[in-house]
Amino acid sequence: MRYIRLLELLGRIHGRLARQLAPAFHSEDLSATEMIILWKLELKGPWRVGELASFLGIAPSTFTGILDRLVARGLVERVADPADRRSFLVRATPSLKEVLERVGRRLEETLDRILSGWPEEEYRMLINALERLDRYLDQPVRQ
C-alpha cells in the first residue's frame, strides 16, 4: 500500500489540470485524447497505427474512429508503411503545426495564471523529480 498515495495524487492532479486546460483543446474542437495523439505525432514523427494506439492504451476500434476524425480535419494522414505493405503509418500534415501553436499559446496562458504564485524553486524541484521518475519507469521491472 506504499504507493497508493502517489497514484492518488497523480490521478487527482491529472484530473484537475485536464479540466482546467480542456478549454484550450475545445477551442480547436479537439479532445484531450486527440491532442495527445497530435503531440506524439509532432514530437516523434510518423507512427504505425497499431503501435500508436497501443502506446496510448486505446483500443484499436476506438483509435480508428479518432484517427478518422483527425484525417477528415486534415491534421493527420495515413500513408503506406514502406517497411510493411499491410500496415499504415499516421503522420502529421503541415496544417497541424498551426493548430498546435495556437493550443500551445492558450495552454501557456492558462498555466501561467494557475501557477503564477508557486515559487520557482519548488516548480524546478518538481520537474526534476518527475523527470527522474519518468526515466526510472523506463527501466526494466526488477523481478
Q: What is the pLDDT of residue 60?
A: 85
How confident is the prediction along the chain (143 residues), in pLDDT tens digits per residue?
789 999 999 999 999 998 999 999 899 999 988 998 999 899 888 998 888 899 889 998 899 999 999 999 999 999 988 888 888 899 999 999 999 999 999 999 999 999 999 999 999 999 999 999 999 988 888 77
Hey, where are the domains in the chain?
4-137
Q: What is the pLDDT of residue 44?
A: 87
CB 55 within 8 A of CB 35: no
Q: What is the pLDDT of residue 75?
A: 95
pTM for this prediction:
0.77
The DSSP code for 92 is: E
Q: What is the pLDDT of residue 87?
A: 81
Q: What is the pLDDT of residue 1?
A: 79
In the CATH scheme, what architecture does the domain 4-137 have?
Orthogonal Bundle (1.10)
Helix residue ranges, H only, the chain: 4-26, 32-44, 49-56, 60-72, 94-115, 120-137
